[in-house]
Chain A
Amino acid sequence: MNPAVEPVLKARGLVKRYGRVTALNNADFDLYPGEILAVIGDNGAGKSSLIKAISGATNVDEGKMWLDGKPFHFNSPLEAREAGIETVYQNLALSPALSIADNMFMGREIRRSGVMGSMFKMLDNKEMQRIAREKLNELGLMTIQNINQAVETLSGGQRQGVAVARAAAFGSRVVILDEPTAALGVKESRKVLELIQDVRSRGMPIVLISHNMPHVFEVADRIHVHRLGRRLCTINPKDYTMSDAVAFMTGAQEPPAEAVAA
């Protein structure tokens, strides 16, 4: 990457301990404008911990983070969201008993216009349902018949679709996706990959955590390899094969020196 370009998101020396487990061990991170950055790594490597630190879902024990060159520290996911960072967490962060529309607008509900909205704080359910339906349609997730269906009555793939649609619809600065295609079928995964490229074409950078090497190599501009709680190296998918990437992330092969320096 061009060192003259300021990363959108930058982190240095992140440390996160859970009791005796060190989930992040001096981890660095860079996300550049307009790129799709894939983060790969073994189970337990600390990928989710990394994005939780960035998105304000957990407090790190040590380390510094910058957004557009300015130091930041989010104390809650809400603060990250207000800064335009939308995250699809690995556990999706949906409320199972609430409807699809309720979940998509959780924390950013639309109120009625006029006195009913301003005085009586009445929600505009029709409008929220309309927008939710539209967003899911764009994602090709309209095997869902009823937007007022409780999320717990959806299949795993449909739930993931709802979470991804929510992030894509409301992200304005960065979209982070933690294993968004893990429970999806081929067709649904394809939709999510298209959506990711769609979001990028709007100029928004994306962090994609995934185990699926074909997906990663298809869409990523750069690949951040995470191992044992830290960034092992960053590689360009054009210069390496999928088996190289797997060898780095499992420790079967030492990464090249120039990739480590990046």
Chain B
Amino acid sequence: MSGAESAASPKQDFEKALDQSDTSVASFDTKEKSFLDRIQHFLHGNPTMVPVIVLLASVVVFGLLAGSRFFSPFNLSLIIQQVSIIGILAAAQSLIILTAGIDLSVAAIMVLMSVISGKLAVEMGVPAPLALLVAFVGGTAAGIMNGLLVTRIKLPPFIVTLGTWNIFFALNLWLSGAQSIRSQDIDSAAPLLKFFGNNIALGSARLTYGSILMVVVFVALWYMLNKTAWGRHVYAIGDDKEAAELAGIRTDRTLVSVYALAGFVCAIGAWASIGRVGSVSPQSFYEGNLQSITAVVIGGISLFGGRGSIMGALFGALIVGVFQSGLRLAGVDVLWQVFAIGWLIIIAVAIDQWIRKVSA
């Protein structure tokens, strides 16, 4: 135990001797708290509030700046559509970051699996459902490979996934010969691959199946993380792996399951991405790894693990989409969009650090 704690104990003893002193000390405490302290405590208990507030504020600001073009149902549904693939990758990324890891390979797994399913279904005549099944198994296997390297060989997740990012990307180029599979070839051979490109028209809004899929993925993972024992264990491991192990959690097994699930979610993203892009493109989403991390960080999930809600990553992805759309419609050069996202990342992490310093 630390010196500070033992030094504090005689005072506690003294207080305990007076029967009612506990409550009066507690109420004195709350009066002492400043407004800022209260905000800090509130955010500590509700980590998703920051991205929600930023999202709402940015929607209002860009609405004022860009007017009805921004606020049109068409544009809002377009934003959701545009962030859907990065959103799904951010969901996978959130799982890993909650365990205090990082996954640089999510987009590489996704693109590799889209190439595999495209090759099989379009060029080799394998039935589309079977081709997709292979992609799901492949994505999960890629995740398990990351997980085993992290837990068995005990390498840092950053290094493991930096390595597998390159490996998966090279495999992708080798399998595809760096050639895209054209949209019309998919349409004639395996239209199922483009299923998530379909949309539902609601007035002028175009809600693609891919957008709906993104929301479904987030809701399902939110349930697993918040309503099941497995989810508690994921948070505990990210919080303090050694403590979780001592408390009786099979930490390595849980970690491998997290990486496997992330790989599976990347394969879901692979299917959705074919619909979104319209073709199978081995060169697409090259920046997807870092964009997914951006969404997670802006969504208030701590890079140190164990804190934040996966829903934050959904809001984070939407914030990025709103900024890009709003700035574009306001006629701001692309480079300033990048500039703004950069500041968002830094501010989000600074806020996370501040929330984590909450005192008892």
Contacts and interface: CB of A to CB of B under 8 A. Distances in A.
Interface residues of B, number: 38
Interface residues of A, number: 44
Nearest to A158: B360
A188 B9 CA distance: 11
Nearest to B2: A156
B13 interface: yes
A183 B239 contact: no
A147 interface: no
Interface in B229-276: 229-230, 232-233, 235-236, 239-240, 242-250
Interface stretch (A62-70, A91-99, A214-222, A240-248): A91-99
B227 interface: yes
B236 A95 contact: yes
Pick the most buried of B229, B249, B306: most chain A CB atoms within 10 A of its CB: B229
* Interface of B: prevailing SS: helix
Given A97-B307, A120-B227, 13 more contacts: A57-B245, A95-B247, A102-B236, A122-B227, A123-B227, A143-B26, A153-B360, A156-B5, A157-B12, A182-B1, A182-B6, A184-B9, A186-B16
A126 B250 CA distance: 25
A20 interface: no
Given A156-B1, A156-B5, A186-B13, A89 B246 contact: yes
A150 interface: yes
A87 B55 CA distance: 46
Pick the most buried of A108, A150, A156: most chain B CB atoms within 10 A of its CB: A156
Nearest to B15: A185
B17 interface: yes
9 contacts: A76-B248, A94-B243, A96-B239, A98-B306, A106-B244, A107-B233, A109-B229, A179-B1, A184-B9
Nearest to B240: A95
B243 A93 contact: yes
Interface of A: 57, 76-78, 81, 87, 89-98, 102-103, 106-109, 111, 120-123, 143, 145, 150, 152-157, 179, 182-188
Contacts of A111: 229
Contacts of B44: 150, 153
* Interface of A: prevailing SS: loop
B239 A97 contact: yes
B228 interface: yes
A104 to B, nearest CB: 10
Given A95-B236, A123-B227, A107 B248 contact: yes
A187 B16 contact: yes
Contacts of A187: 13, 16-17
Interface in B1-57: 1, 5-6, 8-9, 12-13, 15-17, 22, 26, 44-45
Nearest to B308: A97
A57 B245 CA distance: 8
Pick the most buried of B44, B240, B306: most chain A CB atoms within 10 A of its CB: B240
A157 B134 CA distance: 54
